[in-house]
Structure 1
Amino acid sequence: MSTPFPTGRRPRIGIGGMSVRSATFSPHRTTYDDFRVTRGAELLARDAWTRPDGDLSGPVEWVPLVHAVAVPGGPVEPEAYRRLKGELVDRIRQIGPLDGLVHELHGAMGVVGLEDAEADLTEAVREALGPRALISAAMDPHGNVSRRLATALDLVTAHRPAAHSNAAHRPAAGQDAARTRERAARKLVERLAAGKGRPHLAWVQVPVLLPGERTSPRLEPARSLYGRPASIEELDGIVDAAVWAGWPWADEPRCKAAVVVTGDDPALAVEQARSLATEYWDLRHDFVFAAPAGDADECVEAAVASPARPFLISDTGDNPAAGGAGDLPYMLGRLLAHEDLAAGRVTALHAGITDPAAVAECFAAGVGAGVRLSVGGTHGPYEPYEPYEPYELAGEVVALREADEVGGDVAAVRRGGVTAVLVSRRKPFRSRADFGELDPRGYDLVVVKAGCPAPELSDLAADWRLALTPGAVDQNLRRLGHRRVERPLFPLDPHMPAPDLTPELL
């Protein structure tokens, strides 16, 4: 690609950012060690378009800054945030003037004691860059876009459904992020090549806050709604369009759906932003869960009665991939409360409860030994729920695995027909390999702490249900007790009046 730039020189564009989704209701805390930090050549090697032979590396000098990403969890410890923010800002100041920045954010990062963390980070980045450089943000659609954040950006986009996605499959989150990052970069390069400054941003928030399991692009109406920005982008005078569902498992005023349309035609940007926002509002009652849903006992009963094997149940309220602590034994208790499972007439594999002390006891006992464990509650009490008591699990150690890359040491304990997988570190179970020697296909029921299952588990399951269990990422938002979100807000206020959805030009 050969792009003539009006300055007569190759523009210098930085790449960096900080990304994590934080469930602020979780007792877990995200530390510096939870982040994977990428710098230098490794950062440039991540994407084809920034490599030496990439099509954007001829016309652009890509400058690696620092990028930090963590597995979803509880709020980030302040010291970890300050350390990473400081490194990013210092690097910008050290490397000399930049023409632009590809800024990677999630939109749902929470920091203990700080409100609107992405806006705080972006304002610091803006101060270091100076007013002339363009910031192009790549974000997750389950994040939040406050007015404060949007004002600090020049371009912003979010993940879109892939053209080939269908009801059964969707790309992995990493693929979504990579495509969005590339789109943000190309929009920025096009802008600089045209010698244009900041476009108009038509921004509006929609007072709707729904979990991703109810706004999945696998299903209508979300599929069509999230597909619209690509067609809006094709209009003359429009640069980009994006929709965000907001982050329901945090308690901040910014938490709600949002629409941003960027363009050189301000009237058209406002018109299209209003249209998208209005459509979102009008569809608020039509969003549905990606699978039949019910409380834990309803899902267990349906799974036991079904001939479909294996039958998958998502323990949604304690999903570590959404920020849950992964240490609630609630679903284990409900499985063993069922007579057929307790007696072993039906089998279930339940993964994975975080409890390093219980795992250590299993390793000390060895495979084949009987153990009596107090399982769960590793990270402390859950507000606003009553603290859950650990589950007293007596059973046989049936498997041990050392040093799993994510979960650390792993132990499996069987009681009746239920095999509980315990991990020493929070771990989402997404694939057959995550279970080690335990083959989920050999069980009647498979229960994972998850929302919508990853593609491999979805393919493995003959049928599945979403269990609306309690926890820090409860699908029933009313149980969480939001106190600081702006009200009225659907579905917390189901009969609220229609809002003013007039976009603001920033």
Structure 2
Amino acid sequence: MSDPRTQEAAVAQRLRIAIGGIALEASTFCPHRTTLEEFSVVRGEKLLARYAWVREDWAADVEWLPVVHAYATPGGPAVPEAYDALEAELLAGLDETLDGVFLDLHGALSVVGREDVEGALARRVRDRVGGRTLVSASMDLHGNVSRELAEAVDLITCYRMAPHEDEWESRERAARNLVLRLRDGGRPLKAWVQVPVLLPGERTSTRDEPARSIYARVPEVEALDGVLDAAVWVGYVWADEPRCRAAVVVTGDDPEVLRTEAERLARSYWDARGAFELVAPAGTFEEVLDVAVDSAARPFLLSDSGDNPTAGGAGDSTVTLHALLADDRLAARVLDVVLSNVTDPVAARACADAGVGAEVVLDLGGHVDTTAPPVPFRGTVTSVDHSVGVRAVVRSGPVSVVVTERRAPLHREAEFQALGLDLRAADVVVVKIGYLEPDLFDLAADWRLALTPGGVDQDLLRLGHRSLGGPVFPFDPDPPTPDLTPVLIP
């Protein structure tokens, strides 16, 4: 029989690591405001169930303590009372007895009237748990890393792919590195440097050069002796704050290697600033619609990039819907057109109440993003689904419009199939997105990026940034050469 004292000692040596976070990608140019009701909040076992790696061998002797994680679909800034309630709950679940904290963040969280929300959150977490506890953060590569954030956490990393096919791998890396350092190695050093370049994801996809080569270098740096992790952030272009710009952090134990490699990554990003191009041919919506109508490629996808709710758009802009309904060529050429989606709770519920086959008259969209007015829309309800709020399809002539109660974009073929829409049989599909997610990218015979106005406008100079805190490319097309010497943070 084993000695109970030995068992007690083993239990006492188990690491105690809390898990939590608040994640929202928020455009300060979007008129939408994110309320508490729009956050999906998980706690307890449901929170642990998000992370398959807690059951991996390397995590076996860790007591994972789920606190709270809140995520909202990208949109406008959170209202202060919503954020404050979530932050208070997260902080209340932390204390100085913890060995570690894993923070699952985004990096582009904005709250009305505040700046650098994640930096302030990380500082409050640090104050709550004290200096002995190690804190590790995982982030989206479209987040921002201020000096306050870099100083408040001990380890920090981000995705290495855009589209984000490695987001769960990145979270696991952040947690695994935390466990590794708690077991052996202690608090690492960080070489941090910001790069005065701020570009959208549609110009920095890792599918394309120069981002592909820059990000291919990241795991090579990570593999060097004296390095634990390396990360490059693009930054979030649709917020107007001084922290918004590209950043590099290299973490490890060899100060010279960390500084050298962080500066090399930062320099490569700076030097490539003029080479970043849009991921697809682009133009106004009218221009790209002309191409789609005349093309033989089917289905032909068009991205309504200015109202992309996965980047922070309101999701109810009617710019593209007005243009489609005004285009007589679509009916004349017997084209099948799908537009996904217009967020309008009142219209979605009206479609559901009327039922499939009913004719409805809607005052559709344009209630939050008023770039274009609501559309007086008369059509027939062809489908209704209640799996994620109300989703309905209503058709007028050649155009089928997906109307949603909630701000939840459709980016997977199966979501359209559930609504009775066969995208492969369509001629033109308009989606509210920037670069196409993998499912849509594989499905498209051809595609174009529509440079539409909205909260996440790709025409960056049209947005009107005022608070970036100095020259930043491309807002300053000829900025002075920056000092890219990294700051070493203990």
TM-score (norm 1): 0.90
Segments of structure 2 that go 5 or more residues without pairing to the other structure are 1-8
1:289 counterpart SS class: coil
Greater shift in the superposed pair: 408-417 or 9-18:
408-417
SS of equivalent to 2:273: coil
Tell me the secondary structure at the aligned position of residue 268 of structure 1.
helix
Cα contact 1:343–1:416 (8 A) shared by 2: no
**Structure 1 pair 240–429 and aligned structure 2 pair: CA distance change class (3 A):** same
**Cα distance change on mapping 1:192 and 1:356 into 2, 3 Å:** closer
Q: Cα deviation per residue 1:126-156 (whole Å; 9 max; x = unaligned)?
A: 1111111111111111100001111101111
In the alignment, which of 177, 180, 199 is matched to residue 190 of structure 1? 180
2:44 counterpart residue number = 40
Match of 1:241 in 2: 230
State the distance in 2 between where 1:238 and 1:455 align.
32
**Hey, what does 2:58 align to over in structure 1?**
56
Alpha-carbon offset, residue 380 of structure 1: 5.2
Kindly report which structure 2 residues correspond to 1:125-204, keeping only aligned pairs within 5 A, or say none. Answer: 125-161=125-161, 173=164, 176-194=166-184, 196-204=185-193
- Find the counterpart in structure 2 of residue 421 from structure 1: 402
Question: Within the alignment, does 1:391 sit opposite 2:375 as a pair?
Answer: yes
Q: CA contact under 8 A between 2:198 and 2:235: conserved in structure 1?
A: yes
- The answer on 1:75 being equivalent to 2:77 is yes
**Contact 2:356/2:384 (CA < 8 Å) preserved in 1?**
no
Tell me which amino acid in the other structure corresponds to 1:35: F
Matches of 1:488 and 1:199, distance apart in 2: 32
Determine if the alignment matches structure 1 residue 15 to structure 2 residue 19.
yes
Partner letter of residue 252 of structure 1?
A: E
What is residue 276 of structure 1 aligned with on the other side? 265
- Structure-2 change in CA distance of 1:414 and 1:62 (3 Å): closer
The CA distance in 2 between the partners of 1:400 and 1:347, in whole Å, is 16
How far residue 500 of structure 1 moved from its aligned partner, in angstroms, is 1.5
Give the aligned partner of residue 404 of structure 1. 387
Please report how far the alpha carbon of residue 80 of structure 1 lies from its aligned counterpart in structure 2 after TM superposition: 1.4
Partner of residue 167, structure 1: none
- Counterpart of 1:294? 283
Q: What whole-Å deviation, never above 9, does each CA across 1:243-291 have from its counterpart, x for those lacking one?
A: 0000011111111000111121112211111111110011011112221
Distance 1:56 1:33 in 2: 36
Percent sequence identity is 54
Deviation at 1:368, TM superposition (A): 4.4
C-alpha separation in 2, matches of 1:315 and 1:489: 26
Correspondence 1:493 to 2:455: no
| Cα distance change, pair 360–59 in 1 and its aligned pair in 2 (3 A) | closer
> 1:458 — aligned with what?
441
Mark the CA change 1:360 to 1:133 in structure 2 (over 3 Å): closer, same or farther: closer
Indicate the residue corresponding to 2:4 in structure 1. none
1:224 aligns with 2:205: no
Do 1:204 and 1:504's aligned partners in 2 also have CA atoms closer than 8 Å? yes
Match of 1:503 in 2: 486
Question: Does the CA contact (< 8 Å) of 1:343 and 1:417 recur in 2?
Answer: no
Structure 1 equivalent of residue 123 of structure 2 = 123
Give yes or no for contact 1:116–1:252 (8 Å, CA) kept in 2.
yes
1:28 matched residue in structure 2: 32
Query: 1:6, 1:193 within 8 Å by CA — same for their partners in 2?
Result: no
Please list, as runs of the form range in 1=range in 2, the aligned pairs for 1:341-356 lying within 5 A after superposition.
341-343=330-332, 345-356=334-345
For these two proteins, the number of residue pairs brought into alignment is: 479
Deviation at 1:6, TM superposition (A): 13
TM-score when scaled to structure 2? 0.93
Q: Which residue matches 2:320?
A: 331
Match of 2:6 in 1: none
1:359 to 313, 327, 348: 348
Q: 1:37 to 1:495 in 2, by over 3 A?
A: same
CA contact 1:261–1:272 (8 Å) conserved in 2? yes
CA shift, 1:123, in A, is 1.0
Separation (CA, whole Å) in 1 of partners of 2:12 and 2:360: 72
Deviations for 1:54-113, whole angstroms, at most 9, x for unmatched residues?
3134332222222222221211121111111111111113xx601111111110011112
Equivalent residue, structure 1, for 2:3: none
Q: Which is worse superposed, 312-321 or 438-447?
A: 438-447
Partners of 2:273 and 2:369 lie apart in 1 by 35
Matched with 2:413 is: 432
Q: Which residue of 2 aligns with 1:476?
A: 459
Give 1:14 deviation, angstroms.
1.6
Specify the code of the residue in structure 2 equivalent to 1:181: R
User: How has the CA–CA distance of structure 1 residues 337 and 92 changed in structure 2, closer, same or farther, with 3 Å as cutoff?
Assistant: same
Match of 1:208, SS state, is coil
CA distance in structure 2 between the aligned counterparts of 1:371 and 1:31, rounded to whole angstroms: 30
- More divergent stretch after superposition (250-259 vs 184-193): 184-193
Q: Distance in 2 between matches of 1:347 and 1:273?
A: 51
**Contact conserved, 1:354 with 1:378, CA < 8 A, in 2?**
no
Matched, 1:255 2:236: no
**From 244, 254, 263, the counterpart of 1:265:** 254
Distance 1:430 1:223 in 2: 23
- Please identify, of 276-285 and 29-38, the stretch whose mean Cα deviation from structure 2 is larger: 29-38
2:91 equivalent in structure 1? 89
Root-mean-square deviation (CA), in Å? Answer: 2.1
Shift in alpha-carbon separation, 1:237–1:337, aligned structure 2, 3 A: same
* Aligned mates of 1:34, 1:373 — CA distance in 2: 24
Does the residue aligned with 2:264 lie in a helix, a strand or coil? helix
Structure 1 residues 134-188: Cα deviation after superposition (integer angstroms, max 9, x where no partner): 1111111110000111110111111124xxxxxxxx77x4x52321111111111
